[in-house]
Amino acid sequence: MQPKLKSRVRCADREIGEVTKVVVDPLSHEISHIVVSMNGSGERQVAMGHVQSVTESLVELRVPSSEILVLPPFKRDDYVTTHEVEISHLEEKIHVTPGEVLVPYPELEKNVKRRTFFMNFTNVITFLIGLPLAYPIMRYLMKPMYAPFDNAWLKVGNIGKIKEDDIGVQFEYKKKVKEVYMPEYEIEKNVWVVKATSALLDKVYQGKDLEFRDATGTALWTNKKEIPFVAFSGKCPHLGCGFKWRKHKVLGRVFLCPCHLSIFDASGKVLDGPAPRPLDVLPVRVSVGGDLEIIEMEFKAGTKSQVRII
Amino acid sequence: MEQSSIPGAQSTATEKVIAFLDDRVGLKQMQAKMLNEPVPGGSRWAYVFGSVLLFLFLMQALTGILLMFYYVPTADHAYASTQYIIHEVDYGWFLLGYHFWGSSAMAVCVIAHMSQVFLWGAYKKPRELLWIVGLALFGIVIGFGFTGYLLPWDQRAYWATTVGVEILDKTPVLGDFMARFLKGGPTPGQMTLSRFFVIHVMILPAALMGLAGLHLFLFRVAGPAGPFRGTSDEIKAKTDYFFPRQIWKDIVGMAAVFATICALAFWEPVVLLEEATPDPGDYHPEPEWYFLFYFQLLRLKIFSGEFGQLLGAVALPVAFMVLLVALPFIDKDPERNIFKRPIALVSWIVVMVTMLLFTVAAVINREFLD
Amino acid sequence: MADERESLSPVKIGLGVLWPVCWTGLPIKLVFAVLILAMGMAQFEGRLGIAFLMLLTSPVTVFAVPTITMGLESHLGEGVGIPLLFLISIPIDIWAFGVVGRTFFLENLRKEPPDGLGLTLWWKSALAGALFLPMLWFTVSTVTETAISTSRSLVEMESLRHVFGTGLPVAERISIELALWGTVASVVLIALLLIGVSLIGWIIRGTAEAAQPATENYQRLITRWDLMRVPADQGLMLTAVTGAGVVLSLLFWAVLPVTTTHPHECCKKPDVKAQPMFKPLDTLNKNEQQIAQMTAQLAMLEQQKAEAESEKDKGKRKAQTGKDAASSAVKKP
Q: What is the pLDDT of residues B81-117, one digit of tens each?
A: 999 999 999 999 999 999 999 999 999 999 999 999 9
Nearest neighbour of B237 by CB, restricted to C38, C219, C267: C219
Angstrom distances, CA of residue B108 to CA of B105, B141, B358: 5, 11, 16
Which class for A140: exposed (0-12), middle (13-18), buried (19 or more C-beta within 10 A)?
buried
Name the DSSP letter for residue B241.
E
Q: Is A136 an interface residue toward C (CB < 8 Å)?
A: yes
Q: Is residue A134 part of a domain?
A: no
Q: Across the interface, do C260 and B266 touch by the CB < 8 Å criterion?
A: no
E strand residue ranges, B227-274: 240-241
Q: How far is residue B42's CA from residue B227's CA, in Å, rounded to a whole number?
A: 9
Query: Ranked by mean pLDDT, which of A294-303, B200-209, C95-104 comes out on top?
Result: B200-209
CA-based nearest distance A37→chain B, Å? 34
CA distance C182 to chain A (A): 39
- Which contiguous run of DSSP H or E holds residue B299? none
User: Given an 8 Å threshold on Cβ–Cβ distance, is A132 in contact with C278?
Assistant: no
Is residue B4 assigned to a domain? no
Per the structure, the count of domains in chain A is: 2
Backbone angles phi, psi at A64, to 5 degrees: -75, 160
Report helix, strand or coil for B242.
helix
In a domain, A81, yes or no: yes
Residues A204 and A104 in one domain: no
Question: Model confidence over A224-247: pLDDT tens digits?
Answer: 888 899 999 999 999 999 999 998
Q: pLDDT (tens digit, 9 = 90+) per residue, C30-83?
A: 999 999 999 988 888 777 888 889 899 999 999 988 888 877 667 777 888 888
Angle (CA) C61 C67 C68, round 5°: 75
pLDDT at A296 over 80: yes
DSSP C113: P
**pLDDT band, very low/low/confident/very high, at C2 (cuts 50, 70, 90):** very low
pLDDT of residue C164: 57
B105 touches chain C (CB under 8 A): no
Give the model's pLDDT for residue B3.
45
Q: How far apart are CA A106 and CA B236, in angstroms?
A: 8
Q: What residues in A contact B247, CB-CB < 8 Å?
A: 118, 122
Q: Residue A218: inside a domain, yes or no?
A: yes
Residue B61 lies in a domain: yes
- Does one domain contain both A108 and A179? no
Pairwise CA distance, residues B114 & B118, whole Å: 6
Mean residue pLDDT across chain C: 83
Of C147, C141, C173, C149, nearest to C74 (Cα)? C141
Beta bridge partners of A171: A191
User: Do A284 and A157 share a structural domain?
Assistant: yes
Ranges of chain B whose pLDDT falls below 50? 1-5, 8
CATH number, position A54: 2.30.30.240
Are C1 and B91 an interchain contact pair (Cβ–Cβ within 8 Å)?
no
Based on the fold, state whether residues A163 and A257 are members of the same structural domain. Answer: yes
Tell me whether residues A129 and B255 touch, CB distance under 8 A: yes
Distances (CA, A) of B140 to B108, B147, B199, B207, B328: 14, 10, 10, 8, 21
Mean pLDDT of C157-180: 75
CATH number for B330: 1.20.810.10
In angstroms, the separation between the Cα of residue C123 and the nearest Cα of chain A is 30
pLDDT, position B2: 42
Q: Which chains touch A (3 or more CB pairs under 8 A)?
A: B, C
Q: What would the DSSP string read from start to end of C206-270?
A: HHHHTSPBP-S-HHHHHHHHHHHTS-SSHHHHHHHHHHHHHHHHHHHHHHS-SS-SS--GGGPPP
> C269 pLDDT exceeds 80?
no
Tens digit of each residue's pLDDT (9 = 90 or more) over A81-121:
988 888 888 878 888 888 888 888 888 888 888 888 888 88
Interatomic CA distance for residues B186 and B158, integer angstroms:
15
On whether residue A104 sits in a domain, the answer given is: yes
Q: For A155-204, what is each residue's pLDDT tens digit?
A: 999 988 889 888 889 999 999 888 888 889 999 999 999 999 988 888 88
Q: Is B10 inside a domain boundary?
A: no
Q: Using pLDDT thresholds of 50, 70 and 90, give the confidence band for residue C165.
A: low
Neighbours of chain C (3+ CB pairs under 8 A): A, B
pLDDT tens track for B215-253: 999 998 888 888 887 787 778 878 888 877 888 888 888
CB contact under 8 A, C294 and A111: no
The whole-number pLDDT of residue C1 equals: 44
Domain count, chain B: 1
pLDDT at residue number C88: 94
Q: Residue C326's pLDDT is what?
A: 54
Q: ipTM, 2 decimals? A: 0.84
User: Is residue A160 domain-shared with residue A278, that is, in the same domain?
Assistant: yes
> What is the arithmetic mean of pLDDT over C260-272?
73
* DSSP secondary structure letters along chain A: -PPPTT-EEE-SSSEEEEEEEEEE-TTT-SEEEEEE-GGGS--EEEEGGGEEEE-SSEEEESS-HHHHHTSPBP-GGG---TTSS--TTHHHH---SSS----PPPGGGG-HHHHHHHHHHHHHHHHHHHHHHHHHHHHHHHTTTTPPP---EEEEEEGGG--STTSEEEEEEEEEE--TTSPPEEEEEEEEEEE--HHHHHHHHTTSPEEEE-TTS-EEEEE-TT--EEEEESB-TTT--B-EEEEETTTEEEEE-TTT--EE-TT--EEESS-SSPPPEE-EEE-TT-EEEEE---B-TT-SS--B--
Which residue type sits at A73? P
d(CA A274, CA C227): 72
- CB within 8 Å of A150: residues ≥ 6 apart: A296, A310
Same domain? For A116 and A194 the reply is no
Structural domain boundaries, residue B107:
42-369
Asked if B45 contacts B253 with a C-beta cutoff of 8 angstroms, the reply is yes
Predicted confidence at residue C230, as pLDDT, reads: 86
CB count, 10 Å around CB of A173? 18
What is the distance between the alpha carbons of residues C38 and B263, in angstroms, rounded to a whole number?
8
Q: Report yes or no on A47 lying in a domain.
A: yes
Note whether C174 contacts B238, CB cutoff 8 Å: no
Q: What CA–CA distance (Å, rounded) separates C196 from C18?
A: 11
Q: Could you say which residues from 259 to 298 on chain A have a Cβ atom under 8 Å away from some Cβ of chain C?
A: 288
Partners of A173 in beta bridges? A189
pLDDT bracket for residue A141 (50, 70, 90): very high
Helices B247-267 and A112-142: crossing angle in degrees, nearest 10, is 30
- What pLDDT is stored for residue C328 in this prediction? 52
pLDDT at C3 over 50: no
* Closest C-alpha to C200, from C122, C134, C140, C135: C122
Q: What is the mean pLDDT of chain A?
A: 90
CA distance A293 to A287: 8
**Amino acid at residue number A243:** F
Q: How does residue C157 score in pLDDT terms, banded at 50, 70 and 90?
A: confident
Question: In the prediction, which pLDDT does B318 show?
Answer: 92
Query: DSSP letters along A156-194, please?
Result: EEEGGG--STTSEEEEEEEEEE--TTSPPEEEEEEEEEE
Residue B267 at interface with chain C, using a CB cutoff of 8 Å: yes
Q: According to the model, what pLDDT value does residue B84 have?
A: 94
**C-alpha to C-alpha distance for C296 and A274, rounded to whole angstroms:** 46
d(CA C159, CA C153): 10
- Determine the Cα angle at C75 with ends C73 and C81, to 5°: 140
Q: One-letter amino acid identity for A61?
A: L
Do A158 and A288 belong to one domain? yes
Antiparallel, parallel or unpaired: β A219-223 and A210-213: antiparallel
The answer to the question of residue B34 being in a domain is no
- pLDDT for C161 beyond 70: no
pLDDT of residue C163: 57
Q: How far is CA C217 from the centre of its chain?
A: 47
C226 min Cα distance to partner chain A (Å): 7
Quick check: B263 and C258 CB within 8 A? no
CA-nearest of A309, A258, A300 to A277 is: A300
Three-state SS for B39? Answer: strand
Domain interval for residue A112:
1-128
**Which H helix or E strand runs over B38?**
strand B38-39
CA distances from C272 to A151, B128, B259, C153, C257 (A): 17, 63, 34, 57, 18
Residue at B274 is within a domain: yes
Backbone angle region of C73, left / alpha / beta, with phi > 0 → left and psi within -120 to 50 → alpha: left
Tell me, yes or no, whether A307 lies in a domain: no
Final residue belonging to a domain, choices A94, A128, A162: A128
Q: Which DSSP helix (H) or strand (E) runs through B349?
A: helix B342-365
Q: Is residue B16 part of a domain?
A: no
Chains touching B (3+ CB pairs < 8 Å): A, C
Show residues of chain B in contact with A129, CB under 8 Å. Answer: 251, 254-255, 258
β-pair type (A244-248, A252-256)? antiparallel
Residue of A nearest to C218 (CA): A107
Question: Is residue C312 very low, low, confident or very high in pLDDT (cuts 50, 70, 90)?
Answer: low
What is the Cα Rg of chain B in Å?
Answer: 24
Q: What is the CATH number of the domain that holds A172?
A: 2.102.10.10
Q: Which of the four pLDDT bands, split at 50, 70 and 90, describes residue C315?
A: low
Q: Judge whether A306 lies within some domain.
A: no
In a domain, A137, yes or no: no
Q: How far apart are CA C20 and CA B21, in angstroms?
A: 42
Name the H helices within B4-151: 13-25, 27-35, 48-68, 78-87, 92-119, 128-150
**Other Cβ atoms within 10 Å of A210 Cβ, number:** 17
What's the pLDDT at A21?
92
Residue A193 confidence (pLDDT): 93
Q: Is the model's pLDDT at C17 over the cut of 80?
A: yes
Of B355, B154, B110, residue with least CA distance to B270:
B154
Q: Based on the domain organization, do A108 and A196 belong to the same domain?
A: no
Where residue C289 falls among pLDDT bands split at 50, 70, 90? confident
Domain presence at residue B137: yes
Tens of pLDDT, residues B131-163: 999 999 999 999 999 999 999 999 999 999 999
Task: State the average pLDDT over residues C206-220.
Answer: 87
Residue B27 falls inside a structural domain: no
Integer CA distances (angstroms), C137 to A217, B306, C118, C185, in order? 62, 47, 27, 11
